[in-house]
Structure 1
Amino acid sequence: MDSNKIFQVVLVLLILKWNSVRSLTVDVMDYGAVGDGVTDDSQAFEKTWEAACGSSSGSAVFNVPKGKKFLLNPTKFQGPCKSPNLNFMMEGEIIAPNDISYWRSHYVPTWLTFEQVNGLVVNGNGLFDGQGAVWWKLVPDPCQRPTALGFSSCNNLELSGLTHINSPRNHISINLCTNVTVASLHITAPETSHNTDGIDIASSVNVQIHDCDIGTGDDCIAINSGCKYINITGVNCGPGHGISVGSLGMEGSVAEVEEIHVQHCTFSGTQNGARIKTWPGGSGFARNIVFQDITLVDAFNPIFIDQYYCFPGQPCQNQTSAVKVSDIWFNGFRGTSMSEAAVNLDCSKTVGCTQILLDHINITAGAQGMVVGSSCTNAYGRDSGSIPPVDCLLP
């Protein structure tokens, strides 16, 4: 082959390589979005998504510009996408409709859904506002409140930097995802807003959550069945119901959760701290769970295993089966409790809890005149010099 033909081949290869790595940026304003917070911009977002997801470029950027407020009705961002890397760059605000009559006539369980989008990055300095106040006042009416933001079957997912406020129900749901990183999120709803979990995780593997501030009316983070290798670090939780494994085993279901590690977290004024909650009558297991290096600031129920978790106001009796809770390590807790039972291990009479280990626990009373202690039922394990002493553990 002469030098001219070699040059032509090399040139073609370079062009192909350049086409494969170049990035396409699409902006919702270029697809008809108005961004005044009043006009429905759903169709503009859908058109922008079609362009970004359908791009054969090496990567694509979906841009939501700063200084604009976009009203979106329920929208699904469906994959799989041609681009292996898609960046949903969120610098503006996205708000949900606050007309309940609309929601009831167009019911979907999630306001904004990303499904089967691998290599997705959702980041920026923007805001998701679920405008949930109109829903909260209807509780306990069974009003089918939607989750604000859901990710389903999205592998290699990254979420960072954003603010999420006032969801009608859960703020973020992560389901059937593998290799997820969540960092530097700010999630806020009033303490009185029922069931407004910060982050719910289900049926997902290898999830890393770090350096987030979460204060809501329910669990800051809830880890549900099908999860393993979940690592949570540096989360400031409060108000809310703490960081919970569960609830598990509802309506006799089989639950499997393992390899959970929660560390360097702070619970401030929460109803619970480190909690494992299961329903009577379920089955399966919750095992190899570590809560480590935890700071408590006037938290209720700092260490809580509750195997008699039921609907409020309904009787909760022992059943012939229960989720097996085992190999749980509470290590390095310090701070103040607003509950007299700083350590409460209420385990199933049917299966009990085994291999419960407590090390370096130093929890004192958060109110003058209060005396804190511990309570155990059917809990087997070891306590290593805790304050208060956990001498109710069975050997």
Structure 2
Amino acid sequence: MKVLFLIFVIAAPSLCATECSAFDDVVSFDVVSYGATGSGQADDTQAFVKAWKDVCGATQKSAKFVIPQNKIFMLQPLSLKGPCNPATIEVQLEGTVIAPKSIGDWKFLNEERKWIEFSDISGIVIEGGGVIDGQGAAWWNSDDVSMKPTALHLHNCKDGILRSIHHMNSPRNHISVDMCSGLEISHVNITAPMESPNTDGIDISGSSNVFIHSSTIQTGDDCIAINSGSSFVNISDIFCGPGHGISVGSLGRNGDDARVENVHVRNCTFLGSSNGVRLKTWRGGQGYARKIIFEDITVVGVKRPVIIDQNYFGLLDEKKSAVKISEVSYRNVKGTTSGERAVELSCDPNVGCNDIVLDHISITKEDGGESKASCTGAQGTCFLCNPIVSCLSNLHLV
């Protein structure tokens, strides 16, 4: 018996070096221990799948999925699913993960075009200072947007954290948040060339209690887009540009019943983006976008800084219905525009936009000239606005 005990004591440290940190409530699984090479050439997908199986099935309160530094892991489309046993799962992304470089080399799991997906997981934390590189250049010239894959998809995740990563060059949108609640995203750096189409930074749909802050997003499309089914979304301290700004929508495509409410965007800076802060809804849509606040916004050389577009595409004969826009405030928006119009409010003639408030707007042209505003179908007030917004009640004009 003493001999057996001695053997166990000697063997235990080597086991813990691979799978556990101690005899406690935390256990770690390193993908290299499951056969991942980290060469940047070999397919390491199955090593990630095997490691995730043990992470998700661990009996400890907390489990770590370790992607070590100084290595590059090439991955095919990968679905890492829960529910999992540990209350907290920490994905330590310290190295670099890359997608296949050529379109023909991709091996999709099904018709859904996703590269890396985390789904049905509570208490997930993704962090570590590593890199996610979608190597999307080969996809950007494709005209069929539906065929382009999303790089990182978070589906039905609760009480999660995504922070301190660099995400670059997705074939399509970089991060998709779908049917999640209690999610915080911070200190992420998302980059793609200005001319890369459809490369949204973060897309949110069907989600609530989402907090995004302290991040830099520079892509070829929306820095952040808030889509139907989303509520209680708080966005702050974002640097956006190049890109298409921070958008609510588009909403109501193909007559959809879209609903977005309780969105707060504050203390954000836009540099050289095509848009600043905007709402966009399709003609013929239904539902509502309401209780939305944009405040403490700085725009520098932004082509269209403030936008409500209730006529975003759609057929002309569909204009009898529209997504209802109400209780929208733009407060303390200042800076310069590279375009002619600093403020554009284009509301449906039948449904209109109600309870619109512009408060302390000061936007001039880059060359120092006066900017303009266009306004149709909107009802509300404009307090200390430059430029003057004609269809609103202007108070104390500058």
TM-score, structure 1 as length reference: 0.91
Contact 2:224 / 2:247 at 8 angstroms: preserved in 1? yes
Contact 1:87 / 1:122 at 8 angstroms: preserved in 2? yes
Q: How does 1:268-287 map to 2 (within 5 A)?
A: 268-287=271-290
Instruction: Confirm whether residue 36 of structure 1 aligns to residue 36 of structure 2.
Output: no
Q: 1:45 aligns with which of 48, 61, 69?
A: 48
How far the C-alpha of 1:198 sits from its partner, in A, is: 0.1
Instruction: Give the Cα–Cα distance (whole angstroms) in 1 for the partners of residues 234 and 46 of structure 2.
Output: 37
How far the C-alpha of 1:208 sits from its partner, in A, is: 0.4
Instruction: Give the Cα–Cα distance (whole angstroms) in 2 for the partners of residues 20 and 224 of structure 1.
Output: 45
**Aligned with 2:139: secondary structure?**
helix
Q: Residues 29 and 234 from structure 1, CA distance in 2 versus in 1: closer, same or farther, beyond 3 angstroms?
A: same
Instruction: Give the Cα–Cα distance (whole angstroms) in 1 for the partners of residues 290 and 23 of structure 2.
Output: 45
Code of the residue aligned with 2:113 in structure 1: it is: P
Code of the residue aligned with 1:129 in structure 2: it is: D
Instruction: Give the Cα–Cα distance (whole angstroms) in 1 for the partners of residues 367 and 41 of structure 2.
Output: 48
Could you tell me which residue of structure 1 aligns to residue 123 of structure 2? 119
Could you tell me which residue of structure 2 aligns to residue 359 of structure 1? 359
Contact 1:171 / 1:198 at 8 angstroms: preserved in 2? yes
Q: Residues 31 and 350 from structure 1, CA distance in 2 versus in 1: closer, same or farther, beyond 3 angstroms?
A: same
Instruction: Give the Cα–Cα distance (whole angstroms) in 1 for the partners of residues 195 and 101 of structure 2.
Output: 18
Instruction: Confirm whether residue 376 of structure 1 aligns to residue 375 of structure 2.
Output: yes
**Aligned with 2:33: secondary structure?**
helix
How far the C-alpha of 1:141 sits from its partner, in A, is: 3.9
Instruction: Give the Cα–Cα distance (whole angstroms) in 2 for the partners of residues 81 and 167 of structure 1.
Output: 28
**Greater shift in the superposed pair: 141-150 or 33-42:** 141-150
Could you tell me which residue of structure 1 aligns to residue 14 of structure 2? none
Q: Residues 324 and 390 from structure 1, CA distance in 2 versus in 1: closer, same or farther, beyond 3 angstroms?
A: same
TM-score, structure 2 as length reference: 0.91
Code of the residue aligned with 1:243 in structure 2: it is: I
Instruction: Give the Cα–Cα distance (whole angstroms) in 1 for the partners of residues 84 and 51 of structure 2.
Output: 13
**Aligned with 2:118: secondary structure?**
strand
How far the C-alpha of 1:327 sits from its partner, in A, is: 0.3
Q: How does 1:1-395 map to 2 (within 5 A)?
A: 22-103=25-106, 107-138=111-142, 140-142=143-145, 144-310=147-313, 319-367=319-367, 370-393=369-392
**Runs of at least 5 residues in structure 2 that lack an aligned partner in the other structure:** 1-21
How far the C-alpha of 1:212 sits from its partner, in A, is: 0.4
Instruction: Give the Cα–Cα distance (whole angstroms) in 2 for the partners of residues 47 and 105 of structure 1.
Output: 18
Contact 1:225 / 1:255 at 8 angstroms: preserved in 2? yes
Code of the residue aligned with 1:306 in structure 2: it is: D
How far the C-alpha of 1:143 sits from its partner, in A, is: 6.1
**Aligned with 2:304: secondary structure?**
coil
How far the C-alpha of 1:391 sits from its partner, in A, is: 2.6
Instruction: Give the Cα–Cα distance (whole angstroms) in 2 for the partners of residues 341 and 148 of structure 1.
Output: 35
How far the C-alpha of 1:99 sits from its partner, in A, is: 2.1
CA RMSD, Structure 1 to Structure 2 (Å): 1.8
Contact 1:244 / 1:277 at 8 angstroms: preserved in 2? yes
Code of the residue aligned with 1:52 in structure 2: it is: V
How far the C-alpha of 1:341 sits from its partner, in A, is: 1.3
Q: Residues 175 and 35 from structure 1, CA distance in 2 versus in 1: closer, same or farther, beyond 3 angstroms?
A: same
Code of the residue aligned with 1:190 in structure 2: it is: P
Instruction: Give the Cα–Cα distance (whole angstroms) in 1 for the partners of residues 241 and 82 of structure 2.
Output: 35
Instruction: Give the Cα–Cα distance (whole angstroms) in 1 for the partners of residues 303 and 164 of structure 2.
Output: 29
Instruction: Give the Cα–Cα distance (whole angstroms) in 2 for the partners of residues 261 and 367 of structure 1.
Output: 31
Contact 2:228 / 2:260 at 8 angstroms: preserved in 1? yes
Contact 1:309 / 1:316 at 8 angstroms: preserved in 2? no
Contact 1:64 / 1:89 at 8 angstroms: preserved in 2? yes
How far the C-alpha of 1:389 sits from its partner, in A, is: 1.4
How far the C-alpha of 1:109 sits from its partner, in A, is: 1.4
How far the C-alpha of 1:350 sits from its partner, in A, is: 1.9
Contact 1:282 / 1:321 at 8 angstroms: preserved in 2? yes
Code of the residue aligned with 1:362 in structure 2: it is: S
How far the C-alpha of 1:366 sits from its partner, in A, is: 1.2
Code of the residue aligned with 1:347 in structure 2: it is: C
How far the C-alpha of 1:101 sits from its partner, in A, is: 1.9
Instruction: Give the Cα–Cα distance (whole angstroms) in 2 for the partners of residues 195 and 391 of structure 1.
Output: 34
Contact 1:258 / 1:287 at 8 angstroms: preserved in 2? yes
Code of the residue aligned with 1:213 in structure 2: it is: T
**Aligned with 2:385: secondary structure?**
coil
**Aligned with 1:255: secondary structure?**
strand
Instruction: Give the Cα–Cα distance (whole angstroms) in 2 for the partners of residues 72 and 264 of structure 1.
Output: 37
Instruction: Give the Cα–Cα distance (whole angstroms) in 2 for the partners of residues 230 and 46 of structure 1.
Output: 32
Instruction: Give the Cα–Cα distance (whole angstroms) in 1 for the partners of residues 161 and 59 of structure 2.
Output: 21
**Aligned with 1:46: secondary structure?**
helix
How far the C-alpha of 1:342 sits from its partner, in A, is: 0.5
**Aligned with 2:358: secondary structure?**
strand
